[in-house]
Amino acid sequence: MTTLLIAEHDHETLKDSTNKALTAASQLGGDVHVLVAGGGQGTKAAAEAAAKLAGVTKVLVAEGPAYEHDLAEPLAALIVALAPGYDAFVAPATSRFKNVMPRVAALLDVMQVSEIIKVVAPDTYERPIYAGNAIQTVKSKDAKKVITVRTSTFAAAGEGGSAAIENAASAADPGLSTFVGEEVAKSDRPELTSAKIIVSGGRAMQSRENFAKYIEPLADKLGAGVGASRAAVDAGYAPNDWQVGQTGKVVAPELYVAVGISGAIQHLAGMKDSKVIVAINKDEDAPIFQVADYGLVADLYQAVPELTEALGKLGK
Amino acid sequence: MKVLVPVKRVVDYNVKVRVKSDGTGVELANVKMSMNPFDEIAVEEALRLKEAGKATEVVVVSIGPAQASETIRTGLAMGADRGILVKAEGSVEPLAVAKILKAVVEAEQPGLVILGKQAIDDDSNQTGQMLAALLGWSQATFASKLEVEGSDFKVTREVDGGLQTIKLKGPAIVTTDLRLNEPRYASLPNIMKAKKKPIDDKSVADYGVDVTPRLEVLKTAEPAGRKAGVKVKDVAELVNKLKTEAGVL
Ligand SMILES: Cc1cc2nc3c(=O)[nH]c(=O)nc-3n(C[C@H](O)[C@H](O)[C@H](O)COP(=O)(O)OP(=O)(O)OC[C@H]3O[C@@H](n4cnc5c(N)ncnc54)[C@H](O)[C@@H]3O)c2cc1C
Ligand SMILES: Cc1cc2nc3c(=O)[nH]c(=O)nc-3n(C[C@H](O)[C@H](O)[C@H](O)COP(=O)(O)OP(=O)(O)OC[C@H]3O[C@@H](n4cnc5c(N)ncnc54)[C@H](O)[C@@H]3O)c2cc1C
């Protein structure tokens, strides 16, 4: 059997989520080829990085304007055009592939298995349902498998390969949608889904300014990524791409610091697999304390600056 | 332009579901069921289009057991014009739901279908994209802003890095994210009025779709639990524990 792994990249560098999805793809047992589809020069660099990953036997590159902005229709058409050569299609469950893969699955008449957290057998996987309150083991009866991978639960594959790089056969762009623009925040902080430490703020932050004044300095001391609860994002205290939870990003860092977050199940769904959880909340009965390894009952407006300062003294 | 909104009956988001002790699924007896929250957002958006004179009719459709008619009534009470219930027993996977919806779309000819981005029970996040594929239509998932431009659409989407805006050739599929709008509550008079609005009763057989599941659920289990840890008395103790006990600093 041969698996096609679709690579996540930012049109320059290959993303860590690709390495993690590769681990899942390799566990399916067959050969793994990687498709790198993108626009512009950087696609080649991403393909070269993919060729070095351990376990990859071939890299297919598709470069063209249709793939520059992650539009679903042309990328799905491309994957479907490549489908006859493959038995399984695997991609990380990032927003790009949550958008594209079900379209691929339907065109292949396959029921996709979303966000698997474990490969039990080549056709059997575990996936969370009900915001992670239950884990389902499902067996796919489809001839071809279409799978997205919850990257927070798979280790990243390392380097060590030297796969051949080929151009992918092209597919016509259905021309159904066009790119208008984007607002992508540039930040020097680690991305949420690959950060080793995350500091998140909730509704208690009260404003965008307080995020900048309390959460961000603490995050910077720790070299951490910054997250937020839905309540904080809805209120405009934090941008949408910071949302952690059932319907935001799912993260599993070494250390997750929840500040002024109550711990609703939808939030826990996104962070309860973190290795160490710290909660700072002034309500000693807040549900977040039920999952926190270290809970501090305190007013965040006092505790957070103190913590930031204490870390500074540690030489952080 | 007619707008079609598929709405799903799911366990209410406030309910903490329990896995059945025999591992055959989750306990659904006597738990509160509601409209999937993302579908409320979809209904709201359709109603706003109608109120702005951009849509002529809002039709809600649900695929599920007889009780899914309650979910349709919720949509009608919010202000949708009529409903379609496609009765189906047991599990209907997103691919089968999408196939049924395709048949409904072919009969109803909407200019726009708005779905939720994900149903909070199965968390699949698939149905809208699959429907777009089967119809050969354009798609915009995770919408936080929707504008009508003639028969086309401009949609702002929530993506991993921020926001992306794309233009869709109509007819189109849009799936809702949390920040598209804040759904209204149905008023009592509107709940009364909704009782008289028509719901078309259909069954899966009417559409000739094979709904045999492609995924076999072998078991459903409780996730690995996480125990509450300790409360620390102050910041100094916290830092000390993180450094010496947890080793994360
Ligand atoms: C369909 C759906 C999807 C959802 N998806 C998500 C999701 O992906 N992610 C997510 O996070 N939520 C999600 N939610 C929302 C979730 O249910 C909660 O509403 C949300 O997580 C609450 O955010 P919060 O903890 O910041 O706010 P609150 O629940 O209001 O908690 C604020 C906390 O701050 C504490 N506090 C207040 N002041 C201080 C102070 N000065 N010092 C210290 N502590 C203080 C309070 O004690 C309280 O515990 C979703 C909901 C629905 C219906
Ligand atoms: C083996 C198995 C057993 C299952 N058993 C049950 C069960 O006992 N009870 C149960 O409630 N569910 C059950 N489900 C889940 C359910 O039948 C389907 O998975 C579901 O119809 C698709 O929803 P989703 O969350 O996967 O789709 P998503 O793709 O996450 O849904 C996105 C959107 O699609 C639309 N949509 C989805 N489904 C419908 C629908 N039925 N009608 C109208 N619009 C819809 C909504 O707009 C929704 O917001 C089971 C699933 C499987 C695989």
Q: What is the DSSP string of B50-75?
A: HHTTS-SEEEEEEEESTTHHHHHHHH
Give all strands (DSSP E) within chain B, no chain letters.
2-6, 9-11, 33-35, 57-64, 82-87, 112-116, 138-149, 152-159, 162-168, 172-176, 199-203, 215-221, 230-232
Query: C-alpha distances in angstroms, B248 versus A134, A224, A275, B10?
Result: 29, 12, 9, 40
* Beta-carbon contacts below 8 Å between A and B: 262
Give pLDDT, residue A110.
98
User: In Å, how far from its chain's centre is CA A145?
Assistant: 20
Give pLDDT, residue B90.
84
- Residues A154 and A250 placed together within one structural domain of the fold: no
Helix (H, G, I), strand (E, B) or coil at B222: coil
Residue B226 pLDDT level (bands cut at 50, 70, 90):
confident
d(CA B244, CA A314): 13
- Residues A116 and A264 placed together within one structural domain of the fold: no
User: Mean pLDDT across the stretch B203-208?
Assistant: 94
Nearest ligand 1 atom to alpha carbon B37 = 1
Give pLDDT, residue B145.
98
Give pLDDT, residue A35.
98
Looking at A113, A147, A167, the residue that finishes a domain is: A167
Which parts of chain A fold into alpha helices (H)?
16-27, 42-51, 72-82, 95-107, 208-210, 216-222, 230-234, 265-268, 300-313
Looking at A167, A186, A207, the residue that finishes a domain is: A167
User: Over the stretch B137-156, which tens digit does the pLDDT of each residue have?
Assistant: 999 999 999 999 999 999 99
Query: C-alpha distances in angstroms, A201 versus A155, A210, B54, B107, B196?
Result: 27, 10, 39, 48, 46
d(CA A140, CA A110): 9
- Residues A118 and A233 placed together within one structural domain of the fold: no
Is residue A175 included in any domain, yes or no? no
d(CA B249, CA A316): 9
SS3 of A251-278: the string is CCCCEEEEECCCCCHHHHCCCCCCCEEE
In chain A, residues 132-191 whose CB comes closer than 8 Å to chain B = 132-142, 174-185
Cβ atoms of B81 and B58 closer than 8 Å: yes
Domain count within chain A: 2
Sign for the CA dihedral angle at A161, A163, A169, A170 comes to positive
Residue A27 sits in a domain whose CATH number is 3.40.50.620
Contact B214 A110 (CB under 8 A): yes
- For chain B, count helices (H), then strands (E): 7, 13
- Residues A16 and A144 placed together within one structural domain of the fold: yes
User: Over the stretch A282-298, which tens digit does the pLDDT of each residue have?
Assistant: 999 999 999 999 999 99
Contact B239 A311 (CB under 8 A): yes
Is residue A236 included in any domain, yes or no? yes
Residue A4 pLDDT level (bands cut at 50, 70, 90):
very high
Give pLDDT, residue B161.
87
Place of tokens 């720790």: A222
Contact A177 B19 (CB under 8 A): no
Q: Is B27 exposed, middle or buried (0-12, 13-18, 19+ CB in 10 A)?
A: middle
A203 is in an annotated binding site: yes
Give pLDDT, residue B91.
83
- Residues A124 and A216 placed together within one structural domain of the fold: no
Measure CB to CB from residue A234 to each of B118, B131, B179 and give the nearest one.
B179
Q: What are phi and psi of A104, to 5 degrees?
A: -60, -50
d(CA A87, CA A107): 15
Q: Calculate the average pLDDT of chain A.
A: 96
- Residues A24 and A70 placed together within one structural domain of the fold: yes
d(CA A295, CA B231): 4
- Residues A12 and A109 placed together within one structural domain of the fold: yes
Is residue A285 included in any domain, yes or no? yes
In chain A, residues 232-291 whose CB comes closer than 8 Å to chain B = 233-234, 239-241, 246-247, 249, 254-255, 265-266, 272, 275-278, 284, 289-291
Q: Whose CA is nearest to atom 18 of ligand 1?
A: A264
Q: What are phi and psi of A89, to 5 degrees?
A: -125, 120
Ligand with smallest separation from the Cα of B95: 2
Model ipTM?
0.94
Determine the distance in angstroms separating the CA of B61 from the nearest CA of chain A, rounded to an integer: 20
Give pLDDT, residue A285.
97
User: Over the stretch B44-72, which tens digit does the pLDDT of each residue have?
Assistant: 999 999 999 999 999 999 999 999 999 99
Give pLDDT, residue A213.
98
Determine the distance in angstroms separating the CA of B85 from the nearest CA of chain A, rounded to an integer: 23
Helix (H, G, I), strand (E, B) or coil at B168: strand
- Residues A49 and A127 placed together within one structural domain of the fold: yes
Measure CB to CB from residue A133 to each of B16, B144, B218 and give the nearest one.
B16
Beta strand B57-64 with B215-221 is unpaired
d(CA A290, CA A281): 12
Percent of chain A with pLDDT over 70: 100
d(CA A133, CA A292): 17
Place of tokens 């996480």: B226
Is residue A174 included in any domain, yes or no? no
Q: Is the pLDDT of residue A59 over 80?
A: yes
User: Over the stretch B155-173, which tens digit does the pLDDT of each residue have?
Assistant: 999 999 899 999 999 999 9
Q: What is the DSSP string of A141-201?
A: -SSSEEEEE-GGGSPPP-B----EEEEPPP------EEEEEEEE---SSPPTTT-SEEEEE
Is residue A301 included in any domain, yes or no? yes
Give pLDDT, residue A252.
93
Residue B121 pLDDT level (bands cut at 50, 70, 90):
confident
Is residue A185 included in any domain, yes or no? no
Closest residue by Cα to residue A204 from A292, A304, A272: A304
Cβ atoms of A198 and A227 closer than 8 Å: yes
How many whole angstroms from B13 Cα to the centroid of ligand 2? 15
Q: Is the pLDDT of residue B122 over 90?
A: no
Percent of chain B with pLDDT over 70: 100
With a Cβ cut-off of 6 Å, ligand 2 is lined by B 6-8, 36, 38-39, 61-64, 91-94, 97, 115-116, 118-119, 121-122, 124-128, 213, 215, 217
Place of tokens 């189906």: B88
User: Over the stretch A163-194, which tens digit does the pLDDT of each residue have?
Assistant: 999 999 888 999 999 999 999 888 889 999 88
Which residues in chain A have their CB less than 8 angstroms from residue B158's CB?
A: 95, 240-241
Residue count of chain A, please give it. Answer: 316
- Residues A67 and A158 placed together within one structural domain of the fold: yes
Contact B26 A290 (CB under 8 A): no
User: Over the stretch A116-132, which tens digit does the pLDDT of each residue have?
Assistant: 999 999 999 999 999 89
Is residue A214 included in any domain, yes or no? yes
Contact A112 B126 (CB under 8 A): yes
User: Over the stretch A15-49, which tens digit does the pLDDT of each residue have?
Assistant: 999 999 999 999 999 999 999 999 988 899 999 99
Determine the distance in angstroms separating the CA of B213 from the nearest CA of chain A, rounded to an integer: 8
Measure CB to CB from residue B163 to each of A98, A183, A303 and give the nearest one.
A183
Residue A248 sits in a domain whose CATH number is 3.40.50.1220
Closest residue by Cα to residue A227 from A253, A209, A206: A253
Residue B116 pLDDT level (bands cut at 50, 70, 90):
very high
Nearest ligand 1 atom to alpha carbon A202 = 26
With a Cβ cut-off of 6 Å, ligand 1 is lined by A 202-204, 229-232, 243-248, 260-262, 264, 266-267, 270, 281-283, 286, 299-301; B 13, 37, 120
User: Over the stretch B20-36, which tens digit does the pLDDT of each residue have?
Assistant: 999 999 998 899 999 99
d(CA A100, CA A105): 9
Residue range(s) defining the domain that contains residue A124: 3-167
Nearest ligand 2 atom to alpha carbon A114 = 26
Percent of chain B with pLDDT over 90: 92
Q: Is the pLDDT of residue A316 over 80?
A: no
Q: Calculate the average pLDDT of chain B.
A: 96
Cβ atoms of B117 and B141 closer than 8 Å: yes
- Residues A141 and A289 placed together within one structural domain of the fold: no
User: Mean pLDDT across the stretch B85-96?
Assistant: 93
Q: Most A CBs within 10 Å: which of B28, B91, B160, as the mutation test of the A interface?
A: B160
Is residue A82 included in any domain, yes or no? yes
- Residues A208 and A145 placed together within one structural domain of the fold: no
- Residues A74 and A209 placed together within one structural domain of the fold: no
